[in-house]
């Protein structure tokens, strides 16, 4: 697989439940990003990792959200006590730092619906 993959593609959950999404970046990419996209809007930055270090978090990322990248490879994004306002497409992207500002490759996203 040469692209960014995300799992699951779709998730329907009841309000108050916890959910976890996974992202597998392109293998040689050391930077990984999470974005959230709601209908009719552009992706909004949530957080980013360089290797295993989480270097920046958006103020959009409330304390119910946590992201990890334990071995500098795949990443997980967990949302605790989901709310209806969390319904969105969660996109992961990766890039390679040592090549400067090169293309960020996006995954196909995980669409979360909170009912």
What is the rounded CA–CA span in Å between residue 51 and residue 75?
Answer: 10
Binding part of the chain for other proteins, among 16-24, 63-71, 75-83, 101-109 by CB under 8 A, reads 101-109
80 binds other proteins (CB under 8 A): no
Q: Considering the complex, what minimum distance in angstroms separates the CB of residue 110 from other proteins?
A: 12
The window from 17-25, 29-37, 65-73, 78-86 that contacts other proteins (CB under 8 A) reads 29-37
- Applying CB under 8 A, among 31, 65, 75, 88 the residue interacting with other proteins is 31
What is the full DSSP assignment across the chain? --S-EEE-SEEEE-TT--EEEEEE--TT--EEEEEEE-TTS--EEEEEEETTEEEEE-TTS-TTEEEE-TTSS-EEEEESS--GGG-EEEEEEEE-GGG-S-PPEE---EEEEE-
By CB under 8 A, residue 33 contacts other proteins: yes
Q: Which listed residue (21, 24, 43, 77) binds other proteins by CB under 8 A? A: 43
Q: Which residues bind other proteins (CB under 8 A)?
A: 4, 31, 33, 35, 40-45, 48, 55-56, 91, 95, 97, 101, 103-109
């Amino acid at each position: 697989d040469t692209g960014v993959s995300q799992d699951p593609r779709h998730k329907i959950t009841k309000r108050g439940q916890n959910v976890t999404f996974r992202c597998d970046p392109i293998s040689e990419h050391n930077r990984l990003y999470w974005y959230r996209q709601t209908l009719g809007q552009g992706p909004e930055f949530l957080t980013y990792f360089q290797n295993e270090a989480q270097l920046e978090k958006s103020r959009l990322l409330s304390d119910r959200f946590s992201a990890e990248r334990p071995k500098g490879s795949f990443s997980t994004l967990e949302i605790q006590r989901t709310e209806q306002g969390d319904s969105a497409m969660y996109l992961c992207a990766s890039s390679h730092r040592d090549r400067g500002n090169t293309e960020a490759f996006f995954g196909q996203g995980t669409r979360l619906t909170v009912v």
